[in-house]
Chains A and B, each alone.
Chain A
């Protein structure tokens, strides 16, 4: 397999709830390599989102370490973390989170505006390509509210991959979609994984997602209970 791009060691993330301490992640040690198509599987509250957020540098470990693409998350300044997310990581959310006042085109272009080295023609070409990947080239000028849920999630995927990040983190991406749309976006993500060698990490408890995964990491109460690859 490819090189190791994420190295998590003895990771603990705890929340103080009054007098008790709740360990959302309890001593997690995991490696991920380039090109993986992996799911964090577990019931609600098992720590999936917490782990994705730490990998994505949106949250910090309480103890232990998380090294992502050569950078130790716990040592990054907010600016450095922002740069890491900006250039290397794409996020996909359960609730799509498109910006309602912007067109589809503008939503996808947004991450590129944060990369000052990209000029307008370059950005235009990148957005066009991303729209093609997700099959929405004809909806560039639409507003999010004119699109179905499945289409919105495809826009969100386009927004996550338009800058060609090495890592995409998708938190329950199919939870708000029907079977047809779920299958459709899984296909798109599999294709991107194959063609661009993008690493995908999902959090999910959806069978329609799980059946496509090549590696399944089961979490329960903040701990890894199994880790199988095929």
Chain B
């Protein structure tokens, strides 16, 4: 009997092919849209991760409590030990230390007297060749004048800042700051180049310097304000981050000791948890709308198909099937079609998303003169969720659509079915 019904389903293209196509199209859109949103979210996350937070960030609890002020006197000590431990325990995560510092930039004139001064926000990262930081900060692309630091004592300045200070690569720049222990530190650097990130906070008064130079300058040997962790695929995964946090805290956190380390996830550290929740509920609402629209379309298709099938329904009743049996077989067909359509739609949705994930859409080329230069290639992001998200609306919509259409047909009197069958 099931074989018989399947045969009919396959042969009647208006019952199989077209509904499958409808479902597949809807599911395709949902899957692709999900991957698209994931991608948008991921690129937003990644900009933040690369510039500020990492995917996870380790600081001492005391430092974390007032992190905005870059309290380097509360920095994490025994940096080399920590790095070795973390790299051994979490080999899939790229660990890299950073120091955030504030100070005054002083540009001396020919006689060594102050020509101009300005407050600066500095970021010290590992700038040695082969360091992942060069990629994270996209320095090669951000470079406006000069070159990246190659020797000790070379730094980068934000281009706007450098213009305000009227300095050019090769000039000497004096940094007046304070050491980890609170005494004044005055150090000379050479300007290697200037950069522009397209992010206001970074472009206003930024110094990018090599970690070891800053450690020396601020008397922070074997210490760093923060230790950033990046997932190997450079994609933020909140679940993974929170799992890592749980394990790390169980092992190393001592609430009573304010110098024991704390690990913060990107969402916690950036205050983007709200965005994340909003994006998730947006995805849910989109899926819901699709279910409703698709159910409507399929309901109507089901009604038209049902009208066409009055003859079949009448005959099957007359031959000795009960109404409930016919109704169930209709729902079974619907489930199959929903499943088939979802499979096809998911397949093509994922395919297109992967394509966009690997090739990317270079909208930087569209906004050529835009100062926005960070992450100007849009990439979709296929997550495991993309593989299943389409099935709920796909199967549900077909099911609801057919259930409604079926009710419409069967609420009529059986006898009425025959009347219409005769004319």
Which single member of B12, B311, B324, B414 contacts A97 (CB below 8 Å)?
B311
Q: Which of A1-9, A65-73, A108-116 contacts B (4 or more CB under 8 A)?
A: A108-116
Q: Which residue of B lies closest to A53 (CB)?
A: B415
Contact of B421 among A50, A85, A93, A110 (CB under 8 A): A93
Q: Shortest distance in angstroms between B18's beta carbon and chain A's nearest beta carbon?
A: 14
Contact code string A191-207 (vs B, CB < 8 Å = 1, else 0): 00000000000000000
Which 9 residue pairs of A and B lie closest in terms of their CB atoms, listed nearest first?
A: A86-B320, A82-B322, A91-B318, A85-B320, A101-B11, A59-B415, A111-B319, A101-B12, A113-B1
B325 contacts A by Cβ under 8 Å: yes
Q: Considering only CB atoms, which chain A residue lies closest to B423 in the complex?
A: A95
A78 and B11 form a contact (CB under 8 A): no
Query: Does B312 reach chain A (CB closer than 8 Å)?
Result: yes
- Give bound CA distance, A109 to B322, whole Å: 18
Whether B421 pairs with A114 at a CB distance below 8 angstroms is no
Residues of B within 8 A of A (CB): 1, 4, 7-8, 11-12, 311-312, 314-315, 317-325, 413-415, 418-419, 421-422
Partner of B8 from the list A58, A81, A102 (CB cut-off 8 Å) is A102
**A79 contacts which chain B residues (CB < 8 A)?**
322, 324
In the complex with contacts A94-B422, A97-B311, A106-B7, A78-B319 CB distance below 8 A: no
Choose among A87, A95, A102, A110 the residue that contacts B422 (Cβ–Cβ < 8 A): A95
For A85, give the chain B residue with the smallest CB separation.
B320
Using C-beta atoms within 8 Å of the partner chain, give the interface range for chain A.
20 to 34
Q: A59-B414, A59-B415 are in contact. Are A95 and B320 (CB under 8 A)?
A: no
Say whether A87 contacts B320, CB under 8 Å: yes
What is the interface of chain A, defined by CB distance below 8 A to chain B? 49-50, 53, 56, 58-59, 78-79, 81-87, 89, 91, 93-95, 97, 99, 101-102, 106, 109-111, 113-114, 159, 171
Q: How far is the CA of A82 from the CA of B322 in the complex (A)?
A: 5
Docked-complex contact B4 and A85, CB < 8 angstroms:
no
Q: Which residues from A are CB-within-8-Å of B312?
A: 99
Indicate if the CB atoms of B415 and A85 lie closer than 8 Å: no
* B residues near A86, Cβ cutoff 8 Å: 319-321
Q: Is B1 a contact of A49 with CB atoms below 8 Å? A: no
- A58 pairs with B4, CB closer than 8 A: no
Contacts of A82 in B (CB 8 A): 317, 320-322, 325
Chain A residue at minimum C-beta to C-beta distance from B315: A97
Contacts of B314 in A (CB 8 A): 93, 97
Enumerate chain B residues within 8 angstroms of A106, measured Cβ to Cβ: 4, 7
Q: Tell whether, in the assembled complex, residue A53 and residue B319 are in contact, meaning their CB atoms are under 8 Å apart.
A: no
